[in-house]
Amino acid sequence: MFKDFQFPKDFLWGGAIAANQAEGGFGIDDKGVSVADVHRYYPEKSNEEIHKEQLKGMTLAQVKENIEDKKNYYPKRHGIDFYHKYPEDLELLADMGFKSFRTSIDWTRIFPTGEENEPNEAGLQYYDHLIDKIISLGMEPIVTMLHYETPIEITLKHGGWHNRDVIDLFVKYGKVILDRYKDKVKYWIVINQINLIQLEPFNSTAIAYDTVDDYRAASFQAVHNQFVASAKIYEYAKSIRPDLMIGTMIADCTAYPYSCAPDDIILAMKRNRMQYFFTDVQFQGEYPQYALNYFKENNINLTITEDDKEVLRDNTMDYLAVSYYYSQMVDSKRNTMDLASTTPNPNLKANPWGWAVDPQGLYNSLSQYWDRYHKQLLIAENGFGMYDKVENGKIHDDYRIDYVTKHLLAIKKAMYDGAQVIGYCAWGPIDIVSCSSAQMDKRYGFIYVDLDNEGNGTGNRLKKDSFYWYKKVISSNGESLNEG
């Protein structure tokens, strides 16, 4: 019976952040400039306008201008100063009882431009201390190799990830951190949300859209190169320590059909299949025919060598990390195969950024991924972005507690049906800069950070109501979710 089902004792309760959204420390210890560091905040724009800017990507002129810009604010260069405050922040997470902590290593701290022959020792020493602190507090480190931190020189000198030269540059970096941390880090995610080339185009590919003739084709070539780089990383990891767990990660972007009309169902099926494409390649080791047909029908000509096919076939990933925040819906009369083309679901409520709250969507998605691949699953990100209000030194975030409760129960239901979910990393367990909007006001944390969208504030940390709630969830191994 479902009511008697329990989370396993070794379930990895925890949380996740990204280096570029939290660390700050811009330019310190020879850190280079990454694609995240040229993402400016637009105080004059609405949430919808900011979203449209993100979907568009960046021109080469914008990239160069933003690198030199001394006037405007670039929040990801500052984060929440996790670079200096990580010991205290990690202790707060340990106080919640975290069993795991996911973060990324910023490529530009190790190879500031990506092109250096030797790694930056100061950057490695920072991550030595960070990882040691995570472990000392009883948490399993889960490390992402690339979380939107491609060196900006990859854009300026190589044009972005669609250039095959970038494969070797990334593999060089990957080998360095694998060699350094193979005895400390078991779980690795090679590339964060490898499927978001249409929703996070510049972050994902580092391609300035005005430097290529066909941005969509260049983006899919970039993903192919990331597939190959990931497979080569996997091959090397297994050669130095076979028990390392090397995973890929996607953002769940599957969609419901708007109605039972056959055209709606077929559009949803085709859209979903092109989302499964990213994991089909990395788990099945080859390009599926439906994807090859899609590329041919859309005049997308990829360079795929015989060596590429071999390395993909021989080095499929160990597990699937999934980020899930909301569900989507498509209407054949209004929508296309474009990932950004969706229709609001009238049955669901959304947060101020238009993200529809749908716990059953997570149960559905996890079930589909498990049935398709039978690979272990990790919830790499899940959380509720909202404007939080401090009242008499407290934050009463019942809406966040409600959201996470329902999503954890959805995960439990998928596990009851057989899905092997190994852990849950709540996104932004401490408030950090938003990836998509560069806002601080879009808060996810169980811990409040006193900074506003332009970096003003004390930076002090404050426990929200959800802090104490999540602490109880972990200490009870999820049993407290059944209360009430």
Please tell me the total number of residues recorded for the chain in this structure. 484
Q: Which residues, at least 6 apart from 310, have a Cβ–Cβ distance to it below 8 Å?
A: none
Q: Give the CA distances from residue 369 to residues 35, 195, 372, in Å, rounded to whole numbers and listed in that order.
A: 30, 15, 5
Which uninterrupted H or E stretch holds 140?
A: strand 140-146
Which is nearest to 462 in space by CA: 471, 473, 470, 451? 451
Cα–Cα dist 215/90, whole Å: 40
Residue 137: predicted pLDDT = 98
Residue 348: its pLDDT value, please?
A: 96
Helix, coil or strand: residue 352 = coil
Nearest residue to 185 via CA among 100, 266, 278: 100
pLDDT at 56: 85
Tell me, what's the pLDDT at 484?
Answer: 54
What's the pLDDT score for residue 55? 81
Instruction: Indicate the domain borders of the chain.
Output: 2-482
Whether 446 contacts 403, CB under 8 Å? no
The residues of the chain scoring below 70 in pLDDT are 484
- CA gap 119, 111 in Å, rounded: 5
**467 close to 446: Cβ distance less than 8 angstroms:** yes
Q: How far apart are CA 212 and CA 246, in angstroms?
A: 32
Exposed/middle/buried for residue 129 (C-beta within 10 Å: 0-12, 13-18, 19+): exposed
Phi-psi region of 366 (alpha: psi -120 to 50; beta: other; left: phi over 0): alpha
| CA proximity to 97, closest of 24, 39, 13 | 13
Predicted confidence at residue 45, as pLDDT, reads 86
- According to CATH, what is the number of the domain 2-482? 3.20.20.80
- Residue written as token pair 């419901």: 256
